[in-house]
Amino acid sequence: MRLSIFLSLAFMPLSAAAQEAPLDFWDEELRLFGTASAGQTVAHGLEQRLASSFENSAVSLDHADHVVGDLSLDYSPADAGLPDRFGFVSSLWGRPWSLADDMALEVWLKATDLASGDAWTVVLVDASGRQASASVPPVSGDWQKVSVPLGQFEAQEGFNWSDVRSVEFSAPVSPKTRINLDGAAFVAGETMIGITDKPLGQRMAEASDSRAARAAHAFRQEAMKVPEGEISLENETRPRPAIQAFAMMMAEVNLEEANQILINELKDSSVLTVWDLAANPLYLRFYYMFSSRAGKYPGRLTPEAEALLLETLWERTITKNDIALTRKSTWWMDGSENHDLNAKASSLVASRIFMNEPAYKDRVLPNYGYGGGYHYGHAGYYGPGIDFKERKGGGRADLSDGQDYTAADHYDAWVAYFNEYFRERAERGFFLEYGSPGYTKHTMGFVDLIYQHSGDDELKERVGDFVTLFWADWAQVSISGIRGGPKTRHHGKVGGPDDKGTADLVSFLLGGPGNPGTWWYWGLVNDYELPPVVWGMILDREGLGDFTYKARGIGEEVNELPRPLGAERAMLTDTDARFLKSTYVTPDYTLGTQMDHPLAVHSHLSITGRWHGMTFAQSPDARIVPVAIPDGPDLRGRAPGEYDTEIMMHTVHDRQTLIVQQSRRWTAIHPEWYPSDPTIYNRDVGVWFGDDWDVRTERNGWIFVQKGNAFGAVRPVLWDEPYERSKPSTGVGNQVFFNKPYDDPTVKLCDDCYSWNDAKTILKLQDGYSPIIIEAGDTEDYASIDDFMADVLDNPLALHKTVVPGFHVLVYTGLNGEEIVLNAGAMSIPTIGGEPISYEYGMTFDSPYMQSQYKSGDITLQYKDYKLQLDFSE
């Protein structure tokens, strides 16, 4: 339950108090910026800028060089074809600026390599194309604040100051010119209308006012797509037919065709596709948006389509809508976390539909009690004399109470189940598939299905608070839409500019264009709004400063065998998981990991696609990520890529210092359906660097990089084995194979224990079990990369001998001055400053802006004077 919101400033629709710090929104500014040739305005090509997939090739975000907010815009006239003008439109959605006489245009400008020192011109353009122009003093070199009172503009007759649509600059540019723009606004005393950086009140008002238009535009565009090519659910080259039909109905175009598309898809429905992540939620939304009985827009479904929709939903959802599952722990998850939530959320919403449909409300729904995973492959051996067909695709359990239940009974049971589901995740942490670029957008879509269509006010409020909690957690570790920190099920790639599946969801909430695709369309039809405290967390990275965010992880299995019957295809994770997520966050970089207790019992998914490393604000392509180097096809026989993230790491993190080492072994309990892949052990190991660096250099075994204002350093640590073994041995017998108690306690380090791939984008370790030290810094702490390098190279680093040569204890004092000890040869708990890591951390969420005692369900969110208390404890 949301207890209280305290706001520090009055909410103002278009102008806002100047003392409220203006904030950047990375997505909008790239779209507001445009260029114009003779006879055009910068609104030219605006339609293309409204697509969710738009990329602006002429201007980029510059986090390293800015005056206001988190970033400036870096404009390259040559990349735009040396147009006559550049500037900004008032809005992507038609809202003009209404300018008072006493206002002035203010903007920070910086320019290099101009063609001449001539003055610039600034032009305002109204809705009718009339112009008002003024001269701007020459700009060159470092940042200059330009202020032009509106009284100095010479306006054409009839110019409408209440309907201004763009501000445009012309400058004496050359092919080498670079221009940075920041902090553009119209200002009068305490009143500000932001152009690039905007006060929070203005941003929230504009997002609210344009929301319906943004959703409508996205659906219109999707409705008019011409089907071409093959369907790809992740990167759609054409819309999925039913998604296009949904868009047509939302846009109220071609309704006859839309209904036929839907009918054709429903007729193709099969038990073989009941675990399709898209179909059931989409069909349920068709009903609640367009049906004659409960639709928001009734009449857009034909009677034939509506009847077939209900029949298909019944057949698809009774397959998994077993009321016996509502009596199990919410941590009993079928198949995977996202598949489990898909099935159960669909069961809830379908039960609500059928309890209100006269032809279905008295029908008996399943109370099989066979356990989860209905039709998710097979459940193994059922035992002698049991025909698997009798089990309806379920498991081997007998959990039924033998009673008959209708849709209303199922609905009540699922409402109670989900109240507990979200309470427990607020208390212990979320998700198992944490930060997954692929699965997060699926899971949040199923969360939204419950939020929008559960029909229970109390549950809707709880789920709405959970969505707020989700975005607050996301905000802690994200810079301009790029998520840092640890991730699980981050398969295949280290991430980059295309890693925006979750960013597209939040961008719409912040005022960006809608994405009507298969995995995002639902965000355009809900009524959820971010509270001001989360807006501030997301957009004011500079204001949040430097901090560590720690949070409890989930996904440790119940350490029991044999597993209970019915769990043949399930994870059993009702544990106080000994996983601790830790990320150091600054405006310029993130450095993070999830630290796992060496004795933790993993689930089959908590060990997959694990991401640890460093992101750089200046470029999504600049990142440091430990990876595995494949040496052959995977378990499915697929050809290997150059790297993957299917590797388990033993890690220790303290602010700017992260140490990772391939885990020598770990314990995991797999459900019977999920094979244990032998290729995930004893991997070849590397570090992905990419090639998008301002500086990269190697010295004394370290690799140093710089991007923007952030520095990174990487040191694989390996003993100089030839040197150490060249020393004469004084042992006798078998003792020649062991270290001597009177030898030197440490070994010589090897400075050349890695190689590079041909592109020099991946560092490859000589020994896959070498610890890897990653250090981070920025220009707030170091004047140059040389100063950073000097400080890092001065850090004490040693490998201490144990008994057997080659198995050492790493002792390192990082930039924080804390000594870190990690046993690189055997299972142990690392220490920081002499204290072992506490994996059973006392806080579920812990940063200066987000706090909750473990398992309390009481969460405090705070940004400046904005405060929000979330209470999940009841």
Q: What is the pLDDT of residue 236?
A: 45
Identify the residue with better confidence: 785 or 18: 785
pLDDT(808) > 60: yes
**At 571, which amino acid appears?**
M
pLDDT of the residue at 14: 44
Same domain, 194 and 235: no
Total structural domains in the chain?
3
Kindly report the backbone phi and psi dihedral angles of residue 191, in degrees, each rounded to the nearest multiple of 5, phi listed first: -105, 135
Query: In the predicted model, is pLDDT for residue 234 greater than 80?
Result: no
Domain residues for 176?
22-198
The H or E element containing residue 859 is: strand 858-863
For residue 680, pLDDT beyond 90 = no
User: pLDDT per residue over 17-62, tens digit each?
Assistant: 446 899 999 999 999 999 999 999 999 999 999 999 999 999 999 9
Show the CA angle centred on residue 116, arms to residues 115 and 117, nearest 5°: 145
- Average confidence (pLDDT) over 256-281: 93
Residue 296 belongs to some domain of the structure: yes
For the record, the structure tokens of 803 come out as 């008994």
User: How far apart (Å, rounded) are the C-alpha atoms in residues 758 and 433?
Assistant: 33
Backbone φ, ψ for residue 367 (5° rounding)? -135, 50
Using 50, 70 and 90 to split pLDDT, how confident is the model at 874? confident
**In a domain? residue 309:** yes
Q: What share of the chain is helix, strand, coil (3-state, %, to 5)?
A: 25, 25, 50
Domain co-membership, 180 together with 311: no
One-letter amino acid for residue 96 of the chain? P
- Averaged over 613-634, what is the pLDDT? 94
pLDDT digits (tens, 9 = 90+) for 67-120: 999 999 999 999 999 999 999 999 999 999 999 999 999 999 999 999 999 999
pLDDT tens for 435-465 read 999 999 999 999 999 999 999 999 999 999 9
| 185 and 246 belong to one structural domain | no
Q: What is the pLDDT of residue 140?
A: 83
Per the DSSP assignment, residues forming a β-bridge with 688 are 625, 762
The reported pLDDT for the residue numbered 455 is: 98
Q: Are residue 233 and residue 150 in the same domain, yes or no? A: no
CA distance 357 to 284: 14
Shared domain for 725 and 765, answered yes or no, is yes
Same-domain check for residues 694 and 634: yes
Mean pLDDT of the chain: 93
Domain boundary among 319, 352, 369: 319
* Half-sphere exposure for 297 (CA within 13 Å, toward CB): 16
Query: How do residues 276-304 score in pLDDT, each as one tens digit?
Result: 999 999 999 999 999 999 999 999 999 99
Query: What's the CA gap between 234 and 507, in Å, rounded?
Result: 18
Distance, in Å, from the CA atom of 219 to the CA atom of 54, rounded to the nearest integer, reads 16
> Of 87-101, 685-699, 725-739, which gets the smallest average pLDDT?
725-739
Residue 497 CB partners (closer than 8 Å, separation 6+): 620, 621
| Angstrom distance (rounded) from CA 611 to CA 591 | 11
Lowest-confidence range among 22-36, 121-135, 731-745? 731-745
Write the CATH number for 29: 2.60.120.430
Which of 303-317, 363-377, 584-598 has the weakest average pLDDT? 363-377
- Residue 231 binned pLDDT confidence (cut-offs 50, 70, 90): very low
Contact by Cβ (8 Å): 765, 716: yes
Q: How far apart are CA 593 and CA 774, in angstroms?
A: 11
Same domain, 191 and 238: no
Identify the domain boundary among 180, 198, 216: 198
Spatial distance between the Cα atoms of 815 and 659, rounded to a whole number of angstroms: 13
Whether 613 and 570 map to the same domain: the answer is: yes
* Residue 400 DSSP label: -
pTM summary value: 0.96
- My answer on whether 752 and 686 are in the same domain is yes
Strand partners, 547: 585
* Residue 713 placed within a domain: yes
Q: Examine the pLDDT at 228 and tell me if it is beyond 80.
A: no
Q: Both 166 and 247 in a single domain?
A: no
Contact assessment for residue 579 and residue 839, using Cβ atoms and an 8 Å cutoff: yes
651 and 549 in a common domain: yes
Tell me: pLDDT of 792 over 90: yes
Checking if the pLDDT of 784 tops 60, the result is yes
Residue 747 has a pLDDT of 97
Q: How confident is the model at residue 632 (pLDDT cuts 50, 70, 90)?
A: confident
Which one-letter amino acid corresponds to residue 489?
A: R
- Provide the strand spans (E) within 273-360: 332-334
Per the domain annotation, does 768 fall within a domain? yes
Residues 9-14, mean pLDDT to the nearest whole number: 37
Buried b (16+ CB within 10 A) or exposed e, 291-317: beebbeeeebbbeebbebbbebbbebb
Nearest residue to 503 (alpha-carbon basis) of 474, 469, 533 = 474
The confidence band for 238, taking pLDDT boundaries of 50, 70 and 90, is low
Considering the domain architecture, whether residues 260 and 190 belong to the same structural domain is answered as: no
Whether residue 163 is contained in a domain is answered as: yes
Q: How confident is the model at residue 675 (pLDDT cuts 50, 70, 90)?
A: confident
Task: State yes or no: pLDDT of 414 exceeds 90.
Answer: yes
Q: Supply φ then ψ for residue 45, to 5 degrees.
A: 75, 15
- The structure tokens 């152009």 sit at 195
Say if 609 falls within a structural domain.
Answer: yes
- The Cα-based distances of 353 to 170, 253, 413 in angstroms read 60, 26, 15
pLDDT band at residue 227 under the 50/70/90 scheme: low
| Whole-number pLDDT of residue 226 | 66
Q: Which amino acid is at 407?
A: A
Tokens representing 391? 């089990």
* Domain presence at residue 673: yes
- The model's pLDDT over 345-402, given as tens digits with 9 standing for 90+, comes to 999 999 999 999 999 999 999 999 999 888 888 888 888 989 888 888 889 999 999 9
Instruction: Tell me which of 290, 319, 348 is where a domain ends.
Output: 319
The answer on pLDDT for 162 being more than 70 is: yes
Confirm whether 206 is domain-assigned. Answer: no
Burial 185-213 (b: 16+ CB within 10 A, else e): bbbbeebbbbbbbbbbbbbbbbbeebbee
Percent of the chain at pLDDT above 90?
A: 85
User: Model confidence over 507-560: pLDDT tens digits?
Assistant: 999 999 999 999 999 999 999 999 999 999 999 999 999 999 999 999 999 999
Amino acid identity of residue 515, one-letter, is N
DSSP three-state, residue 454: coil
Q: Is the pLDDT of residue 734 over 80?
A: no
Burial of 734 (0-12, 13-18, 19+ CB in 10 A): exposed
* Residue 273 pLDDT > 70: yes
